[in-house]
């Protein structure tokens, strides 16, 4: 995390420095971007830079934290659904909002995997944890698989589906005008179908065991 002196800078100055860093990391990769070139482009001396950050990795962490915060802002909080239809509607809305944000913010898109992949805990997985818990309450999501595994798989599928949808638009397979919103069309329907199959509905351990006993009896 940034050192205390960085937090004492004006909001505009902090955003300028992080914005320059974000562009460099997005363009050159989290491993390839040069710390010296970033601080030079931001108009920060080496001496001042080490009053703001412990080093390159500290700056990268601050940038990725910002990316993750914006992704979560795009999703909005998960609100418990009334029934399966409402659950699907809320799920589709979150997926559309996330994909739209990534389409409109290419730097966040370039850094999203790095931001998400740093940890298997925290607010990103808390969001999907709330979704899975709510789906299990409604009987939409199975209960015979470890909760944490279901959360990780759900988050990974949604991220992959967003990348796939954006790639389709980039290649012209599914064009979308600048500023337009994603729609719950074939892409959303396929995502729901894929996850619904993985979630397996209200499958319980007892039901699974009963099915196995029935098979053994044949």
> Residue 178 sits in a domain of what CATH number?
1.10.357
Q: Could you tell me if 75 and 115 lie in one domain?
A: yes
Distance, CA of 152 to CA of 150 (rounded, Å): 6
Residue pair 66/26 in contact by the 8 Å Cβ criterion: no
pLDDT at 71 over 60: yes
Residue pair 150/199 in contact by the 8 Å Cβ criterion: yes
Q: Could you tell me if 31 and 84 lie in one domain?
A: no
| CA-closest candidate to residue 21, choices 112, 102, 111, 105 | 111
Q: Could you tell me if 33 and 95 lie in one domain?
A: no
Q: pLDDT value at position 76? A: 94
Q: pLDDT value at position 185? A: 58
What CATH number has the domain bearing residue 45? 1.10.10.60
pLDDT at 179 over 80: no
pLDDT at 42 over 50: yes
Is there a domain that residue 85 lies in? yes
Is there a domain that residue 218 lies in? no
Q: Could you tell me if 121 and 77 lie in one domain?
A: yes
Q: Could you tell me if 169 and 199 lie in one domain?
A: yes
Q: Could you tell me if 80 and 33 lie in one domain?
A: no
- What's the number of domains the chain is made of? 2
Of the listed ranges 38-52, 86-100, 125-139, the one predicted with least confidence: 86-100
> Which domain range does residue 20 map to?
4-54
Residue pair 21/55 in contact by the 8 Å Cβ criterion: no
Inter-helix orientation angle 11-28/56-75, to 10°: 100
Q: Could you tell me if 146 and 189 lie in one domain?
A: yes
**Each residue's pLDDT tens digit, 157-168:** 888 887 787 777
- Arithmetic mean of pLDDT over the chain: 84
Q: pLDDT value at position 193? A: 87
**Each residue's pLDDT tens digit, 97-115:** 888 898 899 999 999 989 9
Is there a domain that residue 185 lies in? yes
3-state secondary structure (DSSP) of residue 168:
helix
Q: Could you tell me if 134 and 110 lie in one domain?
A: yes
């Amino acid at each position: 995390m940034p050192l205390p002196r960085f937090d004492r800078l004006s909001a505009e100055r902090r955003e300028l420095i992080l914005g320059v860093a974000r562009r460099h990391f997005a363009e050159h990769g989290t491993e390839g971007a040069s710390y010296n070139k970033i601080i030079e482009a931001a108009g920060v001396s080496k001496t001042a830079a080490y009053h703001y950050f412990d080093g390159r990795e500290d700056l990268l962490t601050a940038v990725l934290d910002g990316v993750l915060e914006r992704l979560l802002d795009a999703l909005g909080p998960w609100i418990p659904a009334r029934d399966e239809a409402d659950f699907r509607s809320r799920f589709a809305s979150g997926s559309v909002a996330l994909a739209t944000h990534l389409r409109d913010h290419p730097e966040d898109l370039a850094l999203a995997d790095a931001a998400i992949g740093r940890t298997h805990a925290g607010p990103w997985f808390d969001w999907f944890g709330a979704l899975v818990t709510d789906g299990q309450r409604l009987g939409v999501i199975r209960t015979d698989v470890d909760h944490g595994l279901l959360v990780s798989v759900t988050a990974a599928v949604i991220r992959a589906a967003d990348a796939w949808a954006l790639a389709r638009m980039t290649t012209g397979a599914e064009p979308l005008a600048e500023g337009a919103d994603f729609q719950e069309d074939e892409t959303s329907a396929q995502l729901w179908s894929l996850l619904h199959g993985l979630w397996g509905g209200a499958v319980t351990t007892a039901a699974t065991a009963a099915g196995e006993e029935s098979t053994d009896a044949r």
